[in-house]
Amino acid sequence: MKHFTSKRERKLWIYAFTVFIAIYATLFLGGQLINFMIERRILEQSTFYLFLVLVVAFIWSGVKDSSKKKEYWIYAGTLAVYGMAVLRMDLSTSERSHMFEYGLLSLLIYEALMERKLHSAKVKLPLLYAILTAGTIGLVDECIQYFITYRVFDSIDIGFNYFAATFAVCLSFGVKKLQHIFTYKH
């Protein structure tokens, strides 16, 4: 039985699983690392630099394929808006990290489902499924934290995980719609 409809779908699921593992690894490693970063006052800067690396990687991928210049400008603008929205929100660094972690996870799940659908597999409501899956992974993450003495269960984080997943997937959906509009106008 073939589990994946394409090599791209397989890669996307592997990436999603890698992000999932990274998120859950922070349950046990994150506390010590966060404390270390807070003590050295490098937590805020690291968030900025990680976002900068993301932007540079994105720009580099756009330079490699000049046939899709409009597409990359749409994504660059969206990425800038997403980054500024996250920076403007009155959020702790931890909450900002949730925006990126669960946003990325939901995007990878969404893209894998869309790839599956593209290859004629029956996929109902990929947008909703991606949001619910990523958000539920965040819910389980928070529930596990309840039992770890040096971690804190926070019901607000649960809502934030669902919000981050929704925000990211809806932005991606919107960008795809813009691409469709620009493609057919020109």
Name which residue leads in pLDDT, 65 or 78. 78
106 confidence band (pLDDT: 50, 70, 90): very high
Q: Is the pLDDT of residue 1 over 50?
A: no
Residue 33, amino acid:
L
Q: Write the pLDDT tens digit of every residue in 4-15.
A: 889 989 999 999
Closest to 153 in 3D by CA, of 161, 163, 162, 144: 144
Question: Which 8-state DSSP code applies to residue 95?
Answer: H
Q: How far is residue 125's CA from residue 127's CA, in Å, rounded to a whole number?
A: 5
Q: How far is residue 19's CA from residue 15's CA, in Å, rounded to a whole number?
A: 6
Q: Which of 120-124, 139-143, 170-174 has the lowest mean pLDDT?
A: 170-174
Distances (CA, A) of 155 to 135, 142, 143, 151, 177: 12, 8, 9, 13, 33
DSSP 50-87: HHHHHHHHHHHHHHH-GGGHHHHHHHHHHHHHHHHHHH
What is the model's pLDDT at position 125?
93
> Which residue ranges make up each domain of the chain?
7-26+37-185
What is the model's pLDDT at position 57?
58
Compute the average pLDDT of residues 44-53: 65
Residue 30, amino acid:
G
Give the other-Cβ count within 10 Å of 165's Cβ. Answer: 30
pTM over 0.85: no
List Cβ neighbours of 167 (8 Å cut-off, separation of 6 or more).
Answer: 82, 85, 99, 103
